[in-house]
Structure 1
């Protein structure tokens, strides 16, 4: 009667507007949004309680339908765990010298309601995976399915039908042989067992306690998970204690732990620069030069860095904390030649050419190896155009004229003078590189009349 009297205050036209707006929005948004749309779009000054009464009186079936809940079927032992983070509070970190926010990583076994709590001050990828490893070791096994929230450390791309898991988390799931089943976005009822327990963890474990360090905090949380939370009388278990149910039916139903420990990995993406390097962490790593400008994926596992293009490894390096890791093979040969053909390389090739070439290169590199390195490379490079034998003869001729420089060797090869007889002692030769002497210059020069 009260609802009908309130409804009669609106005219027929207003009731028609209400019905159209509420029917369209009813299954998609909240009562607060419906009231706001009626005020903004139709000029109806109504409250949320008025909208709620109107829905109850005029859309009884829809209102009843919205209140219906379907109980979940019983969960088989070892088949599921629900996971989430929950804020515990703030804590003065003596290491950091400041107050930090402490989050609680919580994993609840859906069948026995046995739970594991690990306080953390970081929710990054390594912390997320490390908490999973600690939880599996705490339970002594692995649940067959993990129901998680859509946080970035677990899910790269949320999707109802085909979610894309974070690569590091996918590797963890593969290692332990478990299935990751992300909940729907903004649907806390998809993992009610862990959502409801967060407040209990905050009140029972966190409130009023003092901790000297993070390690002590985590040890206390593991003990609390067994001695307090495990021995509570759970209404969902008809008053039974989670620890007793876990020991009786769920411990042996969990998947066994792998024989080898899980090694946490870290994935990142980066774009290849013009210097053929891509940034991973605080260091730079080279990749083949043809990949310049492309975005690649990097995987860090232990002290090894692997860089991927699609599913293929294109480069592997030893992990560095900073600086550059460069593989010369990743550059075009002509771009890296100077850096590869150092003094040691020059002396090695000179020995292969012959004793005269070896003596010439030693003479070039002796005063300052780096300063004359290009000259030595130029002398040895002549063997590709003129051959090893001619280069050896040219070096011998340059030594005879006491000028085994790059210009002299090049000049000898250019005019084919490596086979000429050596000049007699005392011949005029002001410039050793001018192998024909000033007499030839006089013969070729005719003064102008």
Structure 2
């Protein structure tokens, strides 16, 4: 009996054609010089992937191989370690305070013999690349600063009264260098929002060409893909400093990925 081995994409195409013609797995194996179990395994993979003969004319070998063998975030081949649900981890990563280190620690708590941190990150990034292709954004120096509130709060204790208050965290990141400014404000209201910008400009020692905020009500009165309406006071501040306001598109976090 032939040893069980992998098939080339040409052989897989031939296998699908013979299976369509009603040839048994045993006979296909004899024709291709492989074990029957190999044919059965590949036919099962093809059925799961929704592939049948005739294949689409524009289906390349690379795409065919990916549909048959490539699991999201996993390279073809045997895996020695258990893997997490990468799609669930991608959703978890969007939550405030969650990063890959936190997710890896939770994974290792369940799978003590699982992947190390670096391999875990490699596999996650591989999965992430397959979700949707993105274009790298290049920002010239001094062109944009991305501003937003982090979504997390910090507790501040009054040393005299002992009263504890929650404060918001304002974050600004220069697009070219990722040079970051952060400060705590009591609220996200308009006065705190504008004063945070003033202190940010003072910290950077200048102003960029554009400020890219999220669609916070203090900055953007009406969010719109084509014609956002800027808060009047916020617009007057921008006019005073000679900067433009370019709000990120609604529900497009990659427009301000640096600060997110």
Please report the TM-score for the alignment, with normalisation by the length of structure 1: 0.29
Structure with higher Rg: it is 1
Structure number with greater CO (CA < 8 Å, separation at least 6) is 2
Please report the TM-score for the alignment, with normalisation by the length of structure 2: 0.49
